[in-house]
Amino acid sequence: MRKEEILEKLPTPCYVVDEAALIHNLEILKSVREKTDCHILLAQKAYSCYRTYPLIAQYLSGTTASGLFEAKLAHEEMGNRQIHVFSPAYKDADFDELLKICDHIVFNSFSQWRHFREKALAHPEIQFGLRINPGYSEIETKIYDPCAENSRLGITLENFMENELDGISGLHFHTMCEQGADTLERTLEVVEKKFGKYIRKMKWLNFGGGHHISKDGYDTEKLIGMVRRIKEEYGVQVYIEPGEAVAINAGFLVTTVLDLTENGMELAIVDTSAACHMPDVLEMPYRPFILGSGEAGEKKYTYRLGGPTCLAGDIIGDYSFDEPLSVGDKLIFTDMAMYSMVKNNTFNGMPLPDIYLLKADGTTDLIKKFGYEDFKSRL
Ligand SMILES: *Cc1c(COP(=O)(O)O)cnc(C)c1O
């Protein structure tokens, strides 16, 4: 059966994780790991569908977490792999828990490092790091730019305390978003110029996420060259912690057309919501692709697709099709594994989409079904 036919049989709305596509991405990441002997970690912020963690564990060195919950999830579901954590600020109670399950803990400021230093140093089995802000990024969307003016993320060179590095074994920067190896090259130039003499004192340097490594056209050889050079020149281990590159193009969101109306143009209401089920469509913003569709006006029948919420702006985008849509038709959004399940919500009493796994052998497995209780229990 064709992939589309399998997906169209599932009850909607549902996310479907595509195991074969995930493996494709993981193979690419693993080859970078093997060619450079660096460590690659899954950034769980982008993708936390833990049913696939045992699979991911076969390819990557472990995970990174944004706080206690993600760290716990990795601890419970990924078994014996590395767990890194970075948070802009830790709470005392959380930190005690993190000390039990993490092997790398990264601080966002010298004041946080000072606050937790004594507790930290009682754990020689854990490595501690600092996030730096090199003040250089090529991200144009402001809410995704950690180097924007007055950013709270990372320590700038002006605020870097050379004499407080005792107990710190690594530096971390995260300044990229969906970018190529050429952006990393220009970023490293600034990082090295500003922080190079501190990197020399470290055991590791973490390049953060935002590397589009498994996307077509990414210059993997260039990345490999840079990782090798940094390792050699500074005598450090290198970590990379992509989210997107693990889960890019590795999932779908299947929806059903509920109604067709007209107001200056053809409108279609579907049983999935941009605001609730794919919030990046509104936040980023971007237009997700639908299998078999074209840009507005490209094919014969154009529709504006909107969700079933009361939010006027809950619009997914304008799409054209070869045949007119009918109520009951299934539409399949692509690239819906990342920043979707981890960000969705039940605004307007919207149901959460179920989660399926499309296995490499073509069969599907229900991972999780959601219902009314999931809405009620959060309120
Ligand atoms: C978001 C984030 C990542 C992952 O970024 P991707 O763009 O999904 O690769 C990694 N590290 C940190 C610190 C992040 O905030």
pLDDT per residue as tens digits for the range 285-342: 999 999 999 999 999 999 999 999 999 999 999 999 999 999 999 999 999 999 999 9
Please tell me whether residues 128 and 276 are part of one structural domain. Answer: no
> Rounded distance, CA 49 to CA 359, Å?
14
71 shares its domain with 204: yes
Domain range for residue 321?
Answer: 3-16+251-336+344-376
Residues 194 and 330 in one domain: no
Of the two residues 340 and 79, the one the predictor is more confident about is 340
Asked which of 197, 227, 247 is the last residue of a domain, the reply is: 247
CATH number for the domain including 330? Answer: 2.40.37.10
Percent of the chain whose predicted confidence (pLDDT) is above 90: 99
Whether the CA torsion 38, 44, 45, 46 is positive or negative: it is positive
Q: What is the DSSP string of 329-348?
A: -EEEEES-STTSTTT---GG
pLDDT tens for 98-138 read: 999 999 999 999 999 999 999 999 999 999 999 999 999 99
At residue 48 the predicted structure's pLDDT band, cuts being 50, 70 and 90, is very high
**Residue 45 CA, closest ligand 1 atom number:** 1
Is residue 25 in some structural domain?
Answer: no
Q: To the nearest whole number, what is the mean pLDDT of the chain? A: 98
* 13 preceded by a cis bond (ω within 30 of 0): yes
User: Are residue 182 and residue 261 in the same domain, yes or no?
Assistant: no
Residue 178 counted as domain residue: yes
Q: What span, in angstroms and rounded, lies between the C-alpha atoms of 330 and 58?
A: 34
Structure tokens of 319?
Answer: 């799409």
Q: Is position 26 within any domain? A: no
Name the residue of 32, 64, 106, 179 to mutate for ligand 1: max ligand atoms within 8 A of Cβ. Answer: 64
Final residue in a domain of this structure, among 203, 218, 247: 247
What separation in Å is there between the alpha carbon of 372 and the centre of ligand 1? Answer: 32
For residue 21, being part of any structural domain is answered with no
The residue to mutate among 45, 176, 340, 342, having the most atoms of ligand 1 within 8 angstroms of its beta carbon, is: 45
Q: Is residue 30 part of a domain?
A: no
Query: What's the confidence (pLDDT) of residue 327?
Result: 98
Beta strand pairing call for 301-306 and 266-270: parallel
Contacts (Cβ under 8 Å, ≥6 apart) of 141 = 177, 284
Tokens, residue 309? 């919420």
Is residue 46 located within the same domain as residue 12? no
pLDDT, one tens digit per residue, over 265-284 is: 999 999 999 999 999 999 99
- Quote the tokens at residue 188: 């490293």
Atom of ligand 1 nearest to the CA of 46: 8
- Both 143 and 161 in a single domain? yes
pLDDT (tens digit, 9 = 90+) per residue, 84-93?
A: 999 999 999 9
CA of 86 to the centre of ligand 1 (A): 10
Q: Residue 1: pLDDT above 80?
A: no
Ligand 1 centroid–CA 244 distance in Å is 8
> Do the Cβ atoms of 13 and 40 come closer than 8 Å?
no
CA 28 → CA 35, 184, 251, distances in Å? 11, 18, 17
pLDDT band (50, 70, 90) for residue 146: very high
Q: How confident is the model at residue 79 (pLDDT cuts 50, 70, 90)?
A: confident
Same-domain status, 156 and 223? yes
Is there a single domain that holds both residue 214 and residue 351?
no
Residues 171, 43, single domain; the answer is: yes
Find tokens 């639908």 and name the residue. Answer: 290
Residues enclosing ligand 1, CB less than 6 A? 43, 45-46, 86, 174, 177, 208-210, 241-245
E strand intervals along the chain: 14-18, 39-43, 62-65, 82-86, 104-107, 127-131, 168-172, 204-206, 237-240, 251-262, 266-270, 301-306, 315-321, 330-334, 354-358, 364-368
Q: Do both 239 and 266 map to the same domain?
A: no
Whole-number percent of the chain with pLDDT over 70 = 100
Q: How far apart are CA 374 and CA 204, in angstroms?
A: 42
The closest of 2, 10, 24 to 247, measured between CA atoms, is 24
Mean pLDDT, residues 337-352: 98
Q: Does residue 262 share a domain with residue 218?
A: no
Q: What are the tens digits of pLDDT across the range 233-257?
A: 999 999 999 999 999 999 999 999 9
Domain boundary among 214, 247, 280: 247
Look at the chain and report how many structural domains it folds into: 2
Give the distance (Å) from ligand 1 centre to CA of residue 195. Answer: 21
Closest ligand 1 atom, residue 146 Cα: 15
User: Taking the mean position of all CA atoms in its chain, how far away is CA 137?
Assistant: 18
Is there a single domain that holds both residue 124 and residue 152? yes
pLDDT digits (tens, 9 = 90+) for 52-71: 999 999 999 999 999 999 99
**CA angle, residues 28, 33, 39, in degrees to nearest 5:** 125
Q: What is the pLDDT of residues 190-212, one digit of tens each?
A: 999 999 999 999 999 999 999 99
Q: How far is the CA of 293 from the centre of ligand 1 (A)?
A: 30
32 within domain boundaries: no
